[in-house]
Amino acid sequence: MRSIAVIGAGYWGPNLVRNFRNSPAWDLVAVCDLDEARARKVVGARSTVEVETSVERLLARDDVDAVAIATPARTHAPLALAAFEAGKHVLVEKPLADNAETAALMVAAAEAADRVLMIDHTYCYTPAVRHIQQVVASGELGEILYVDSTRINLGLVQPDVDVFWDLAPHDLSILDFILPGGLDPLTVSANGADPLGAGKACVGYLTMPLASGGIAHINVNWLSPTKIRQMVVGGSRRTLVWDDLNPQQRISVHDRGVDLGTQAADAQQRAAVTVSYRMGDITVPALPETEALAGMAAEFAAAIEERRAPRTDGRAGLRVLSVLEAVSTSLATGGAVSPVDHAGADEKELVA
């Protein structure tokens, strides 16, 4: 069993505290926050978990093997770099950093220190998304023709980021996890609107090509009175529908689609295309109801013990950030197609 400390007792920190405290793979030894009262509230009464208010003091402790960072994105890089300097493994909540250049420094520092850098792309540890990845990898869907993802709700207008940076990292991290070859678009285009006058996009649509020749589309929205969390993965053989808000049928696989055949009415001059429609069965797999963060905590421990990159490593976080930065560039140029800079995001990550 390895020991871990959580840095940050705000919005996401308590979730990490609860799961690392309950994990058989970890011994939660400390929670660190500048607000001591907030940290003590998260730790709870009569707890053996210690409270720290100094990151420097925390990182100097010999009984801390790893840290989980749940602080504002702009602080992720300095905290992670200090942790690597102290010889700690690092888990970071999404996004990995506030820009791709800084994230690349974190990845390089992890390699130089031979430490694990893991990004908490929580959805990638849900039973549903893990099942989707297995279905795609098995070839059951065939070639991926399109992905259509909708993540809309009546949500908080964030003070520091637009709707793309707030919500789209979930969808992008899922695509990075389920698509063969990961998230690797050459270009992206994005359109956003600010009907509230908030000074940032509150409604957005982004589109990017897939390596298979298909297309991915993501719709994010802070203004919808209804909450929708749905992704459709269309393949040449079958189509998978994931509705995260429907626990009775989170995933359904449809043997329905369009087949194109060619008929040579006059082989010398032209080929006519005939269209046929498949109307087959719908299958609904039985999925366990387990907490994603518990699986994430187990994966972090396993990656350290097995000396391998975690399922969602630092480069996965960097790939997502690279796409988000291209989205911002596209928005700033009125929705023009923007290239994605994948520099540093595709090399193999070294771990201890």
With pLDDT > 90 as the criterion, what percentage of the chain qualifies? 84
* pLDDT computed for residue 276 by the predictor: 60
Three-class HEC string of the chain: CEEEEEECCCCCHHHHHHHHHHCCCEEEEEEECCCHHHHHHHHCCCCCCEEECCHHHHHCCCCCCEEEECCCHHHHHHHHHHHHHCCCEEEEECCCCCCHHHHHHHHHHHHHHCCCEEEECHHHHCHHHHHHHHHHHHCCCCCEEEEEEEEEEECCCCCCCCHHHHHHHHHHHHHHHHCCCCCCCCEEEEEEECCCCCCCCCEEEEEEECCCCCEEEEEEECEEEEEEEEEEEEECCCEEEEECCCCCCCEEEEEEEEEEEEEEEECCCEEEEEEEEEEEEEECCCCCCCCHHHHHHHHHHHHHHCCCCCCCEHHHHHHHHHHHHHHHHHHHCCCCCEECCCCCCCCCCCCC
| 339 within domain boundaries | no
Residues 41 and 116 in one domain: yes
d(Cα 166, Cα 161) in Å, to the nearest integer? 6
Residue 334 counted as domain residue: no
Whether residue 108 is found in the same domain as residue 129: no
CATH number, domain containing residue 161: 3.30.360.10
Q: Other C-beta atoms within 10 Å of 287: how many?
A: 15
Q: What is the pLDDT of residues 178-230, one digit of tens each?
A: 999 899 999 999 999 999 999 999 999 999 999 889 999 999 999 999 999 99
**Count of the separate structural domains present in the chain:** 2
CB atoms closer than 10 angstroms to residue 85: 13
pLDDT digits (tens, 9 = 90+) for 326-348: 999 999 999 999 999 887 555 54
Residue 261 has pLDDT above 70, yes or no: no
Same domain, residue pair 214 and 65: no
pLDDT in tens, 113-165: 999 999 999 999 999 999 999 999 999 999 999 999 999 999 888 888 899 99
Domain with 110, as residue range(s), is 2-121+293-309
**Model's pTM, two decimal places?**
0.89
Looking at the structure, tell me whether residues 117 and 128 fall in a common domain: no
* pLDDT higher than threshold 80 for residue 62: yes
Q: Are residues 198 and 271 in the same domain?
A: yes
pLDDT confidence of residue 199? 94
- Are 114 and 188 in the same domain? no
Q: Looking only at Cα atoms, what is the longest distance across the chain?
A: 85
Residues 6+ apart with CB under 8 A from 325: 99, 100, 341
The residue whose two tokens read 């989980």 is: 68
- pLDDT value at position 280? 74
Instruction: Say if residue 61 is in the same domain as residue 169.
Output: no
Residues 266 and 130 in one domain: yes
**Angle formed by the axes of helices 292-305 and 13-22, nearest 10°:** 60
Check whether residue 64 and residue 158 sit in a common domain: no
Share the mean pLDDT of the chain.
91
Tell me whether residue 208 is in a domain.
Answer: yes
